[in-house]
Amino acid sequence: MPLNTLVCIKQVPDPQYSHRLFLNVQTGVGERGGVPSITNPHDRNAIEAALSLKDTYGGKITAITMGPPAARRVLEDALALGVDEGVILCDHSFAGSDTLATARIIASGVRILGGFDLILCGEASSDSATHQVPGQLAVVLDIPHVASVQKFHFTDSQTLLTERRTETDILLVESSLPVLLALCKGINEPRLPTVAGIIAAAKKNIREICATDCFGALGEGENCRSFSKVVEIKEKRAAKSAEILAGEMRGVARELLQRLKARGVF
């Protein structure tokens, strides 16, 4: 049962240096301040899940990303881990896309590449954390989607049983292929590249798809236009003050309670 698997990955600023990131209130654009870029940590779990499936069932893994030319680096890293082919959706017109536009652009790339048995995504990106793109991508492609997947396995060659985490429970969801899964970060332990993998990656292909190609693959009524935009950014500083209450514990507690009531806390 060889599987044709697609993994969606994204280049993000390294979260270790998040203190160096800031939002330019004049331009509405995030400034990275020289912060290095890495593969989105959640997406590394998606890559690992795809590699584990290939180890068991065989088949092919394609990694796809949308971003500037520098985003090829995350594809190179994926190829070094054992992914077979990389695809970058790269065009000036893609810059600043909102989540729906991003989903439609990626869906166009999927249509150009052909069908897949399984599409794997990290459930969110560390830079924006909207959790929206996987579900929107599934809707645009008109395939089933299961979010917050913490475990999954095949019950037969065309059916997956997944454990979906919610705030209070675990849901068991059965789905036929093709299906898109958005995976929880702790679903597995991502492997590290080997020397042999890094050498082999140099011989693997990275395909580039531009806006013209994507526009030709749009479905009826679809477009890659963003429906949201940043209109204004305001900086709000919280005023802080501190006051120390001294005295016997019961008296201090009573005084604190009265002050909180006076301020409408409860």
Nearest to 150 by CA among 174, 134, 170: 170
Confidence of residue 33 (pLDDT cuts 50, 70, 90): low
Q: What percent of the chain has pLDDT over 70?
A: 94
Least confident of 29-43, 89-103, 150-164: 29-43
Inter-residue contact 196 to 203 (CB < 8 Å):
no
Confidence of residue 32 (pLDDT cuts 50, 70, 90): low
Q: For 123-140, what is the mean pLDDT?
A: 92
User: HSE on the CB side for 67, CA within 13 Å?
Assistant: 21
Distance CA 209, CA 66 (A): 9
Report pLDDT for 140: 95
Q: For 209-232, what is the mean pLDDT?
A: 82
Confidence of residue 193 (pLDDT cuts 50, 70, 90): very high
Domain ranges (residues) in the chain? 3-216
Which tens digit of pLDDT belongs to each residue from 46-71?
999 999 999 999 999 999 999 999 99
pLDDT above 70 (res 8): yes
Report pLDDT for 43: 97
Least confident of 31-40, 161-170, 229-238, 240-249: 229-238
Inter-residue contact 55 to 2 (CB < 8 Å):
no
Distance CA 120, CA 116 (A): 10
The angle formed by the CA atoms of residues 131, 63 and 23, to the nearest 5 degrees, is 45
Confidence of residue 41 (pLDDT cuts 50, 70, 90): very high
Our measurement of the distance from residue 43's CA atom to the centroid of its chain's CA atoms, rounded to an integer in Å, reads 6
Which tens digit of pLDDT belongs to each residue from 69-110?
999 999 999 999 999 999 999 999 998 899 999 999 999 999
Report pLDDT for 29: 66
Mean pLDDT of the chain: 90
Report pLDDT for 22: 67
Give every CB contact of residue 134 below 8 A, 6+ residues apart in sequence. 8, 121, 123, 145, 147, 180, 182
Q: What percent of the chain has pLDDT over 90?
A: 64
Report pLDDT for 265: 78
3-216: CATH number:
3.40.50.620
